[in-house]
Structure 1
């Protein structure tokens, strides 16, 4: 299959003076995850690293060359693809997700086989499954079947109550299982900012993966409703307000009442 070449692979948006969002618009919407670069006084924090189709590090370094830490919200392929580009930096992950980081990824960029539950969820949401997870490549000789994520050894474990310090700011780690057993988020109480990974985002909530749990997701959603969040920076799609977050939670729980409530 011949795909068009998209040399400017990433889109960078400055959401606040201290915060950038980096996305891969030519990835399928299910794999088009957000990476966030949060600037701090002592060090910056890269929250997730996308699919790894093209090199992310030059983009990050074009925005800031300050010391860096990498925060892993969970270990699904679309969130850890470029972790291996930062071997000298601190890589933070929940212990339940660490083994997946240490294993190489599946070779190629073809759409993975899906469970019947996942396929049904996508059909209900009007999301088409394509042959490939990209609709372009970053250069002329790119081999979509040779693509493979390299294994990464984490340097630090984080869990509920851990604190990530950036010098002038303090973010609390929340363990929010449901999408995966080791899903974690970062909450900055001072600004009401929640960097939630795939625990919550403005879109179709996926609780059908092999490590997902509907009962755990219900508990996570109830907890999120009590959290004094002002803005949610999710793993996919655009940021959302607290009001929109509550609406997404209520919609999810209503749709799953017969399965997990």
Structure 2
């Protein structure tokens, strides 16, 4: 039996009081970071391959079903506002299409051919990377997708929570974060989902940093989509240039990003530039 389907370490959950349930869920969650830590070298190996491909115009695709698919979409959708990159740099695809983001689509994950069809809608670039996300490592939609991608010459990786899964065997760079039985047996939206989210954070953040989308420790290319982000960007420019708040905000709004605002300030301040 797969670890993700093995029986919970706890029983008679319905008889526990609320504080006991919360403490025990938290106890299980504490195991996740340690499990991810054991896979850092595997994550590094995959990111080392992704970065040069994206520098050549490749894109990063996440494919998954259910919770795994939603986590991929979440990570992908945060890249444009956070790093100011085009929406097609990182793409999340879920079995069953956009409807499945909110509602389960019956049998969508059981078609081994659909993921590759979904990826092809974006066109194929030989520098693209496809990462299959499946806690069980047995989802036909995901396995079929990475298998077809690898056959087409794309880079393939996966994030799963079982060792030696069929999915891991089909990719070049498997990441297997084994977090143990779920608190509610088989509910992989819990520890497995948390582990997948942590790994996705690591992959996308590290990739974007190495692609030059962070300066120092700041999101200098973030989109200015609300007042909070305008205020954040203003503070960044103040810190980088020493100008007051009004001038910093003017630079930000005039040039559209922290990066270009700071560059414009120093170019203007330095004779001959």
TM-score range for the pair, normalised by the shorter chain length: under 0.3
The structure with more radius of gyration = 2
TM-score (norm 1): 0.28
The structure with the greater share of residues assigned to strand is 1
The structure with the greater share of residues assigned to helix is 2
Q: Which has the higher contact order (CA 8 A, sep 6+)?
A: 2
